[in-house]
Chains A and B, each alone.
Chain A
Amino acid sequence: MMKIKFDLFVNNYNGGPKIRVYNNDQVVLQKVLTGFGHQTLELEADLKCPTKLTIEHYDKNMKRDTKLEDGKIVSDKGFTLEKIHMDNFVLENELYHFNFIKEDGGEIANNNYIGFNGKYVIDIDSEDLLTWYYKLQKIFINDNNTFDYDQFKEEIFKGEHCEVEY
């Protein structure tokens, strides 16, 4: 059995967000997060890798469940995924790596605030958690193929001149 823990920050407007957690297609947790602020959800699930761990946010009415004042969101039904613990492994900054799939099929990248209905999917595509975690740590290097020296230099120097007298 794998111990899974979610550290969340909940916005509980209109009764709070409803969530389901899936191990592949099997629901392993279903809950309404009625309280506001930091919360922890813990569960034990029989996760056999490879698998997909999915956090679903459902039943939010986008018209009723977000409070706007002067066009600005002042209160909402949703939650921020702060950390996910799976046995001894902790996902924190790594959480930006996974996409959120909205119920209309649209995808949101680089985001850990779950404000729409949809599914946040962690694809554990290895035979064991350790191998998968190592892969996850290394995966960012794949995005490094588009390296451009001049752009990098510009970003580092931010317009400052790089000439030196010596």
Chain B
Amino acid sequence: MINCDLLIIAVPFTDTDKPLQAPAILKAVVEKHGYTAQTYDLNYDFSKSKHKDIDFLKQYFSLGTTNYHNKIIVAEDYVSDMASMLLEAFDPKFIAVSVFTYQCQTFAMLLAQHLKKLNPEIKIIFGGQGLSTQGIQSSDAWAKECKQLGLIDHYIISEGEQALVNLLKHGKGKGIDNTDWEQKLDIDNIPYPNYENYNLEKYDNKTLMITGSRGCVRRCTFCDIHKHWKRFVFRSGQSIANEMIYQSKKYQTYQFNFTDSLINGSMKAYRDFISVLSKHNNSTDKKLTWGGQFIVRGISAMTENDWVMTKQAGAESLALGIESGSEEVRNHMKKQFSDQDLDEFMEQAHKNNVALTFLMILGYPTETQENFLQTLKMFKRYKKYQSVIEGVVLGTTLGILPGTPLAEELIEDIQMNDGENFWTYKKNPYLDFRERIKRRIITGEECVKMGYKVQGDRSNYKLLHYLWNIYKNKQKQNVIDLNTDDLRQQKYS
């Protein structure tokens, strides 16, 4: 049995084949402060489970409900076995449970319940963005309830690095059992994630996550990131590159994926980063590759030389928030790039063979029929670049989240109709939920006809169908599907 101050666990259900980053970061952070920590990825075990009721378990853990009440005992037994296994292997003082999305809540609650039964002395902490159920800005109601029920001893809202150390040291602090968390402004000194307890060889996708920045330089009208992280903070390019090089040598893993809202938010840091990494890649056979979310910039902001170095530095898959083929719509969104910027960007990506994924929003409040057709025209125009457009994410239709500029600035003209997806806009009344679904369907079909690979199409249609049924039955929309570790998908759910 392994004694430790802290056992950090990732719990199901997150639909990923990659190692989850949070436990590795927290392990490194608390060890830096002299505590002993172990990590365990229960989500990985679950993803590889050959359990005969795995489909039922996935659904039950994700949604916390089932029509097959007699099977709930199967889920209880599975979690009970996991709790026993953990406490046979580890003897921790604290157990921190990483609740990555709200779809980890059911498992987390059951696990805490069983752990408390087995050993009520162990202090249980919940943390992670999954503590909130509706958007990144929502409250701590669920976590507070878990605490009141005695399932957990503490919960940590948002960034956990400093809060967890404060909790271990002092038993209290900002963001601990309250929403009064404080953004960390210096993220250069966070220790590198420690994956020692992960069996990285076993993961199907040997990609490590890396964080170069938090927050965003933009204030896109549909997004609430800037409300959560008030400041855009970023690491130096050298620091990011150093971490990637160090981790690749330590873990023999050469693929990385950025968790950032955008990789090239600070062009200075970005240039430093690609400069160091392109030199590294030019001097080794084990070249590093990376991907993540990227801002579209015209050639004046991102030069031909930047593009050459971007390729040499290992850029492999960049996700672009294009959102609309209409410059007018993008201007309203405050995306801050023109059609010309986009054309220049596409030309360079194609020339340098950097793969791209388009993230789109169908049915923005100001989107007219003409604007909508401009999106289709854009796809037609970029057919010539299809060799580097590896995917198009159309999502469902735009949901207006609390805390976004759309929700706040258009409050007089937007009617929510009992659901974030059901809104109507007084100045564009034709664009109701049905019309938005129509545009979504048409775009999906046209993209496929043009030869684009539309990602996650069936699950998006299923979700739309589900929302449509709520809408037409005049029910209230309460569930947001965040069943993925992929920000590209989460954003549109």
Contact = CB atoms under 8 A, between A and B. Distances in A.
Interface of A: 92-94, 96, 125, 127-128, 130-131, 134-144, 147, 149, 152-153, 155-157, 162, 164, 166
Instruction: Give chain B's interface residue range (CB within 8 Å of chain A).
Output: 35 or more
B284 interface: no
B67 A164 contact: no
Contacts of A141: 63, 466, 479
Nearest to B376: A166
B155 to A, nearest CB: 15
Interface of B: 59, 63-67, 69, 109, 133, 141-142, 145, 149, 373, 376-377, 380, 434, 437-438, 441-442, 445-446, 458, 461-462, 464-466, 468-470, 473-476, 478-479
Nearest to A158: B434
B475 A93 contact: yes
A162 B438 contact: yes
Which secondary structure characterizes the binding site on chain B? Answer: helix
Contact of B466 (A128, A140, A153, A157): A140
Given A156-B438, A166-B373, A140 B475 contact: yes
Considering the complex of A and B, which 6 residue pairs feature the smallest CB-CB distances, nearest first?
Answer: A93-B475, A137-B478, A135-B65, A166-B376, A144-B466, A166-B373
Contact of B473 (A93, A127, A144): A93
A147 B462 contact: yes
Among B133, B373, B470, B478, the one with the most A-chain Cβ atoms within 10 Å of its Cβ is: B478
Given A156-B434, A164-B446, A140 B441 contact: no
Given A93-B476, A141-B479, A157-B438, A152 B465 contact: yes
Nearest to B149: A128
B470 A140 contact: yes
A156 B441 contact: yes
A74 B479 CA distance: 40
A68 to B, nearest CB: 30
Nearest to A134: B64
Among A128, A138, A142, A143, the one with the most B-chain Cβ atoms within 10 Å of its Cβ is: A138
Given A156-B437, A164-B446, A142 B462 contact: no
B70 to A, nearest CB: 12
